[in-house]
């Protein structure tokens, strides 16, 4: 009985590969992301059971970030983060775009900083605002 490692695989399910590459914590979460349209294989939506090959381009959204990665190695086993990062290569355009958006997010002031209940002064301002309308 041979153990399925990263060397003897020719095709792997996309949900299993995303889980093994540590993009998602569980295969169920990876499946939900694929079904929800957050993951695109070669520019179009796919099913979680779709098999991928080396060289496939995957675009995925995680929170506010969108990444485009190229599959370098196939694996159906989840390993440590240093080994998982060897399974793919993020494109240069994707890295530049994410960094640009991160800088924009950091430069924007956060408008809704709530420290808890309004104090007396805040309540007076709220009442004045409501009465003025």
Structural domain count of the chain? 1
Where helices occur in the chain by DSSP H, the ranges are 14-20, 27-35, 81-84, 92-107, 120-132
**Residue 105 covered by a domain:** no
Given a contact cutoff of 8 angstroms between Cβ atoms, the answer to whether 98 and 92 are in contact is no
What range defines the domain where residue 81 resides? 1-94
**Residue 47 covered by a domain:** yes
**Residue 63 covered by a domain:** yes
Nearest to 15 by CA among 23, 5, 7: 23
Per-residue model confidence as pLDDT tens for the chain (133 residues): 344 444 557 889 999 999 999 999 999 999 999 999 999 999 889 999 999 999 999 999 988 889 999 999 999 999 999 999 999 999 999 999 999 999 988 888 766 666 788 899 989 999 999 998 6
**Residue 126 covered by a domain:** no
Give the whole-angstrom CA distance, residue 108 versus residue 87: 34
**Residue 101 covered by a domain:** no
Q: At 73, which CATH number?
A: 3.10.290.10
């Amino acid at each position: 009985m041979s153990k399925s490692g990263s060397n003897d695989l020719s095709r792997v399910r996309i949900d299993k590969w995303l889980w093994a590459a540590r993009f998602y914590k569980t295969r169920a979460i990876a499946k939900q992301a694929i079904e929800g349209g957050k993951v695109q294989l070669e520019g179009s939506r796919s099913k979680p059971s779709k098999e991928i090959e080396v060289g496939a381009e995957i675009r995925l959204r995680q929170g506010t970030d969108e990444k485009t990665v190229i599959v370098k190695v196939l694996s159906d086993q989840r390993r440590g983060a240093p080994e998982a990062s060897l399974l793919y290569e993020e494109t240069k355009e994707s890295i530049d775009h994410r960094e640009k958006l991160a800088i924009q997010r950091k430069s924007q002031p956060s408008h809704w900083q709530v420290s808890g209940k309004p104090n007396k002064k805040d309540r007076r301002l709220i009442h004045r605002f409501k009465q003025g309308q």
